[in-house]
């Protein structure tokens, strides 16, 4: 669950990235966060992952109050999230299996648990035969699916996807989104940050639109409702 | 159970990391070895110079002559008063006849033909605890009853004290400068290695790795790099030292101008110093360099 309460973020240089954002995302929801470049989307992601702290207001993520979270608690908060990036962020010298297993190692899982869980997750994202490959041997779509598998492997309460289809062609983008929809159907909350209008409109999901650091629309009417504003 | 599982994994990661980033590991080892060998060579030169000065210092003795009117037994008793001086390390009694015998042995019997031992004086060969206090000690010894005269070379003592002081200052300064320079180079080399892996560290942070979980393999890597560097530097230093010692030995010819301590005599000290310095540099270098990259 995400709860933003009147959140403002002003960077040291003085630019106002967010101006009193209030937003609530319930467990199990699938939400698109849309907006043009510089609207504040990336700042929201960084606040959610505790890379930044808000200038004012309160943020609650999966039971952690991020405006007052202690540094040593941040890793444990992050374990409740799975994060997917536009550039996949895979470790080039680890195989697909190792890239996914790595996220389990971090939380202290045993080799036995890893050997059981990783093939299951790779199967879920359709990469059951790619375990021994290295990232640079895979297509962009496949690499993104490895990143999704890594985000999913620890069974997080929520997945945050930052422009997950930004580097993919329309067909792969659609397939990736279908995969995320399937994951959401299994009970994981999904927050997808994107600016791909057609893609958003192919799914009937809640769309939160922000511009100049403010929420300008929030509803089930698709991306176009934000454009009409 | 979870902890030991993690430690095994992190240790393996550390070892793998060293090979995975082979070039940077090689660079870090090469820089550490170079710094250790330079510091070590300087240290050894200074150690040998120090020994030579010490030996010169020990040879710088003073002669305390006893009044001619004293008989041998009476003269010998003056020794107890001399020994009471706190700066006197040793006072060896040399009788007139022993002194003549020594002269004859050093210069040849012919040179002392016709010389009567009674023309000489009984004496004490005195070694001091601290040559820097020679002047004061000489005054105190001249006041001892039965002491007729003192022969000394305070200028040599002063020279030696000066050389020792200069050597100490120079050696400390050089070693500090070299240590600072090597730490700077090594920490930059490790920083470069870390920079190479900043994405990996950022990913680890993002999937919820704790700082200590991230740091541990790098510390193990630093530990191994330090250990390998220490061992390599030790053997290189050994070879280099033997080479220099042999060259100095040839230079000395029969004169024995310079003293060079055999490496085997300082082997354990050098091994421990190199090992510990290597480990310290490796581990501290890793810990300090990674700090910046953990701030994600």
Each residue's pLDDT tens digit, A43-65 = 999 999 999 999 999 999 999 99
Write out chain B residues lying below 8 Å of A91, CB-based. Answer: 199-200, 203
Angstrom CA distances, B122 to B61, B97, B112, B144, B145, stand at: 16, 8, 17, 15, 14
Q: For residue B63, what is the DSSP state?
A: E
Residue contact A75–B209, C-beta within 8 A: yes
The band of A107, judged by pLDDT with boundaries at 50, 70 and 90, is: confident
User: Is B210 close to A75, i.e. CB distance below 8 A?
Assistant: yes
- Residue B1, pLDDT > 50, answer no
Q: What is the mean pLDDT of residues A132-161?
A: 94
**Start-to-end C-alpha separation, chain B:** 29
Please enumerate residues of A whose Cβ is less than 8 A from a Cβ of B: 49, 51, 72, 75-79, 83, 89-91, 93, 102-103, 105-108, 110-111, 150, 154
Read off the pLDDT of each residue in B238-247 and give the average, rounded to a whole number.
88
Domain ranges of chain B: 2-56+159-294, 61-152
Positive or negative, the Cα torsion across B105, B107, B109, B115? negative
How high is the mean pLDDT of chain B? 81
Any long-range contacts for A11-18 (C-beta under 8 Å, 24+ apart)? A16/A213, A17/A43, A17/A213, A18/A43, A18/A44, A18/A47, A18/A54, A18/A213, A18/A214
Q: Is the pLDDT of residue B254 over 70?
A: no
| From A55-69, A107-121, A164-178, B102-116, the region with the lowest mean pLDDT | B102-116
- Helix (H) / strand (E) containing A180: helix A170-185
CATH number for B61-152 (one of 3.50.50.60, 3.10.580.10, 3.30.70.3040, 3.30.465.10): it is 3.30.70.3040
Q: What is the mean pLDDT of residues A143-164?
A: 93
What is the average per-residue pLDDT within B85-111? 84
CA-to-CA distance for A166 and A162, rounded, in angstroms? 9
- The burial of B184, by beta-carbon neighbours within 10 Å (0-12 exposed, 13-18 middle, 19 or more buried), is given as exposed
ipTM above 0.95, yes or no: no
Tokens 């994600």 -> residue:
B296
Look at residue A225 in the predicted model and tell me its pLDDT. 57
Which pLDDT value is given to residue B235? Answer: 94
Chain A residue with the nearest C-alpha to that of B9: A105
**Residue B34: Cβ-neighbour burial (10 angstroms; 0-12, 13-18, 19+):** middle
Most confident region among A148-157, B13-22, B160-169 by mean pLDDT: A148-157
User: How far apart are alpha carbons B232 and B288 in whole angstroms?
Assistant: 24
For residue A122, give how far its alpha carbon lies from the nearest alpha carbon of chain B (Å): 17
**A224 contacts A34 by C-beta, under 8 angstroms:** no
pTM: 0.68
- State residue A229's pLDDT score: 47
């Amino acid at each position: 669950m995400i709860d933003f309460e009147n959140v403002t973020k002003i960077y040291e240089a003085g630019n106002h990235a967010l101006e009193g954002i209030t937003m609530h995302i319930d467990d199990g929801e699938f939400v698109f966060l849309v907006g043009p470049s510089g609207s504040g989307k990336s700042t929201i992601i960084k606040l959610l992952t505790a890379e930044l702290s808000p200038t004012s207001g309160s943020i609650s993520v999966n039971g952690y109050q991020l405006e007052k979270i202690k540094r040593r608690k941040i890793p444990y908060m992050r374990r409740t999230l799975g994060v997917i990036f536009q550039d996949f962020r895979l470790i080039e010298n680890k195989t697909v299996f190792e890239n996914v297993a790595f996220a389990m190692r971090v939380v202290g899982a045993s080799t036995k648990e890893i050997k059981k869980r990783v093939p299951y997750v790779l199967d879920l994202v359709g990469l059951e035969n790619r375990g021994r490959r290295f990232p640079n041997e895979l297509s962009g779509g496949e690499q993104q699916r490895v990143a999704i598998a890594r985000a999913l492997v620890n069974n997080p309460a929520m997945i945050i996807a930052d422009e997950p289809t930004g580097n993919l062609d329309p067909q792969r983008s659609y397939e990736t989104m279908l995969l995320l929809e399937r994951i959401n159907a299994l009970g994981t909350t999904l927050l997808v940050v994107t600016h791909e209008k057609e893609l958003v409109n192919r799914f009937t999901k809640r769309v939160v639109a922000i511009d100049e650091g403010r929420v300008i629309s929030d509803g089930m009417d698709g991306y176009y409702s934000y454009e009409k504003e | 159970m979870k902890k030991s599982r993690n430690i095994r994994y992190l240790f393996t990661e550390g070892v793998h990391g060293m090979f995975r980033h082979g070039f940077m590991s090689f660079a870090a080892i090469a820089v550490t070895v170079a710094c250790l060998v330079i510091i070590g060579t300087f240290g050894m030169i200074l150690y040998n110079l120090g020994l030579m000065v010490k030996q010169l210092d020990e040879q710088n003795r003073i002669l305390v002559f006893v009044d001619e009117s004293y008989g041998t037994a009476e003269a010998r008793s003056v020794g107890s008063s001399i020994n009471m001086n706190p700066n006197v390390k040793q006072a060896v009694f040399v009788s007139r006849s022993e002194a003549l015998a020594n002269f004859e042995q050093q210069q040849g019997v012919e040179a002392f033909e016709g010389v009567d031992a009674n023309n000489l004086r009984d004496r004490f060969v005195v070694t001091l605890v601290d040559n820097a206090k020679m002047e004061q000690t000489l005054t105190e010894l001249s006041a001892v009853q039965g002491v007729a005269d003192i022969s000394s070379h305070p200028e040599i003592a002063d020279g030696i004290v000066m050389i020792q002081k200069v050597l100490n200052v120079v050696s400390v300064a050089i070693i500090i400068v070299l240590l600072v320079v090597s730490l700077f180079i090594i920490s930059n080399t490790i920083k470069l290695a870390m920079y190479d892996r900043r994405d990996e560290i950022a990913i680890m942070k993002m999937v919820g790795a704790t700082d200590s979980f991230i740091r541990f393999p790098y510390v193990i890597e630093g530990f191994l790099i330090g250990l390998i560097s220490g061992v390599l530097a030790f053997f290189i230093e050994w070879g280099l030292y033997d080479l220099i010692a042999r060259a100095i030995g040839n230079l000395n010819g029969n004169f024995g101008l310079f003293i060079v301590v055999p490496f085997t005599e300082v082997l354990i000290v050098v091994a421990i110093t190199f090992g510990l310095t290597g480990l310290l540099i490796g581990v501290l270098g890793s810990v300090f360099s990674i700090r910046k990259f953990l701030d994600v």
